[in-house]
Amino acid sequence: MIEKTVKIINKAGLHTRPAATIVKLASKYKCEFYIAKDGLNINGKSIIGVMTLAAEMGSELILTFDGEDEQLACNEITDFFGRGFDEP
């Protein structure tokens, strides 16, 4: 299992478009993927779940990956966070 803390760096925060992209990225992998914030632990492959997360610029999320392809999933998804969801 891998655990990673990521920071929201784009202005608009985790809005619907990046939420959809994260779920799509996660769905490509077999491993389990969870996002923890404010006491909620949300399955990252569930769009309706990810949409309940309030994450404005500057907030931190804990990502966990568990399964055979966890390293690949972790790389791609943390990279997407790192790029600020390709947004300003």
The answer to whether residues 33 and 24 touch, using CB atoms and an 8 Å cutoff, is no
Nearer to another protein, 4 or 15 (CB): 15
Q: Is 25 in the site for another protein (CB under 8 A)?
A: no
Helix, strand, or coil (residue 4): strand
- In the complex, least distance from residue 65 CB atom to another protein, rounded to whole angstroms: 16
Kind of pairing between the strands at 32-37 and 2-7: unpaired
Among this protein's residues, is 15 annotated catalytic? yes
In the chain, DSSP finds a helix count (H) and a strand count (E) of 3, 4
Of 4, 13, 15, 36, which is the active-site residue?
A: 15
In the stretch 40-79, what mask flags binding to another protein with x, by CB under 8 A? x--x-xxxxx-xxxx-x-----------------------
- What is the chain's alpha carbon radius of gyration, rounded to the nearest angstrom? 12
List residues with catalytic annotation: 15
